[in-house]
Amino acid sequence: MTQSHLFARRVGLVGLTQLVVGLQGLILLPILTKNLSIENYGIWAQIMVTIGIVPQIALFGLPYTMVRYIPAIENKNDLQETFYSIFSIVISSTIFSSILLYLFSEKIANILFEGNLLVAHILVVIVFFECLILFFINYLRAKQYIKKYSTIMLAKTVLMISIVGYFVFSGYGIIGAVYGLLLIDIILFLILTILVYNDVGFAVPHFHNMKEYLHFGIPTVPGNLSSWVVNSSDRYVIGILLGASSVGYYSPGYSLGGIVRMFVSPLTFLLPSILSENYDKKQIENVKHILGYSFKYFMIIAIPATFGLSILSRPILTILSTPEIAEKGYLITPFVAVSMLLFGAYAIVAQIIILEKQTHISGKIWIIAAIFNLVLNFLLVPYIGIIGAAFTTLLAFGFSFIIAFIYSSKMLPFDMSLRPILKSLFSSSVMAIPIILYKPTELHNILLIIALCAAIYFALMYALKTFRDEEILFFKSLIHHR
């Protein structure tokens, strides 16, 4: 099997996994919104946002450092040295971060969780496990253990739906949901510990290359923090200025638009290790080919998804949440969907910056975008509400993509032809006509119109000769090799 075939097969497996993981949020959405008060659902949203950011900051970018350095390691002793050198710093910083969160838990509870101190205390333990889980999952990513990664993520999805759903349906409310999260993290931590230990074994590290690892990882922390500000701080700003209820109205529309991000997730998971391996072996043409291939097919899938989700936002949110949430939050989806489209494009072109080990550039990009986003949020949200937060998110992602594109094109240009994108925009516009005309409201009608529009879209793309003959043969060969 060629490297291109192997890459595409892995993209397909991770893509399927991300699809199921993405559905987790949609399945949980009606469970939570229909069984919790809007304030408690807003607290849940704040919890998830906090879980997403603390490990990214606390771990000094070291989990991602593994993804950059481990793929080229072939010797077991070198692997153990790298793994345990990084792990020693990770476990120390995780303990320190957890203690810090506990000391400030009362203030955090008052700002984010409507004064619920118990939620803040449970969150401290959850964050501890989340940091270690993130580290272990990035090891699987670095070693390209795609089946193990997919199995873990699918297991997490099943556990999230079943355990959190059970506690909420049983009437335990937001406290039960948070305890459910903690139970899930403990289970995943134990499984991942066994998997990674069986693969790495044990060794006492000597920290030979720690300076280089920290030099690579630490500059990503400001970028991670700033990226989080652009991605998620709007929930914090809305909560501070408008209250937890407004977060509850905002988050479902954001989650729906965020589905577009799902299409780039398999690429952001696989590209760093695969590109690093090729780049370090001086196989530059392979790097360009994989990047061009990734960009084209992300856009071809993400553009029609952006159109469809934007137009169908209100009926989908009505089904998945409540009519009140749908009415107040459906306009959030188009802004977020386009933002995630731009983020996906950024994530692909930014791989070049990572390959060149110029992580300080991406850090600066996100710092500027974060400042821009935060200032605009505080200016606009008090006057135009949650729409203002969605609009500033779009502007920030647009800025990040443009600047990253300028830098990466100077370092390592690759094929980013506009022709497939223009064809996709045209086909998506035609595809949207049946949705606008028929205005489906029931679930079965929505599913039928989605199937019809998908058929229209791909028929038009084929008629416009978007796919080259060798690409069609390539996909046929993938089907035959399954």
Q: Is residue 135 part of a domain?
A: yes
**274 and 146 together in one domain:** no
Co-location of 200 and 236 in the same domain: no
* Domain span including residue 203: 1-218
Q: Is the pLDDT of residue 91 over 80?
A: yes
| Rounded mean pLDDT, 211-232 | 72
| Residue 342 or residue 150, greater confidence | 342
Query: Are residues 109 and 137 part of one domain?
Result: yes
Same-domain status, 249 and 185: no
Check residue 409 and give its pLDDT: 79
Averaged over 21-27, what is the pLDDT? 73
| Of the listed ranges 54-58, 197-201, 221-225, 475-479, the one predicted with least confidence | 475-479
Domain match, 293 and 163 both: no
Whether residue 377 is contained in a domain is answered as yes
Rounded CA gap, 24 and 206, in Å? 42
Does residue 258 sit within a domain?
A: yes
Q: In which band, very low, low, confident or very high, does the pLDDT at 482 lie, cut at 50, 70 and 90?
A: very low
Domain count, the chain: 2
Identify which of 56, 395, 114 has the alpha carbon closest to the alpha carbon of residue 248.
114
173 lies in the same domain as 307? no
Residue 428 lies in a domain: no
| Domain end position, chosen among 218, 249, 277 | 218
User: Is 455 among the domain residues?
Assistant: no
Residue 293 lies in a domain: yes
Mean pLDDT over 304-328 rounds to: 91
Using the 3D structure, point to which of 379, 398, 416 is the last residue of a domain: 416
Q: In this structure, are 193 and 269 located in the same domain?
A: no
| Distant-in-sequence, close-in-space partners of 124: CB < 8 Å, separation ≥ 6 | 98, 101, 102, 105
214 and 231 share a domain?
A: no
Residue at which a domain ends, from 201, 218, 235: 218
pLDDT confidence of residue 474: 47
pLDDT of residue 10: 59
259-273: average pLDDT: 78
108 and 201 housed in the same domain: yes
pLDDT at 163 over 90: yes
pLDDT above 50: residue 318: yes
Query: Is position 334 within any domain?
Result: yes
pLDDT at 443: 85
36 vs 14, higher pLDDT = 36
Q: What mean pLDDT is predicted for residues 312-340? A: 91
Same structural domain for residues 246 and 200?
no
- Same domain flag for 245 and 197: no
Q: Is the same domain home to 50 and 177?
A: yes
Average pLDDT over residues 247-271: 83
> Would you place residue 36 in the very low, low, confident or very high pLDDT band (cuts 50, 70, 90)?
confident
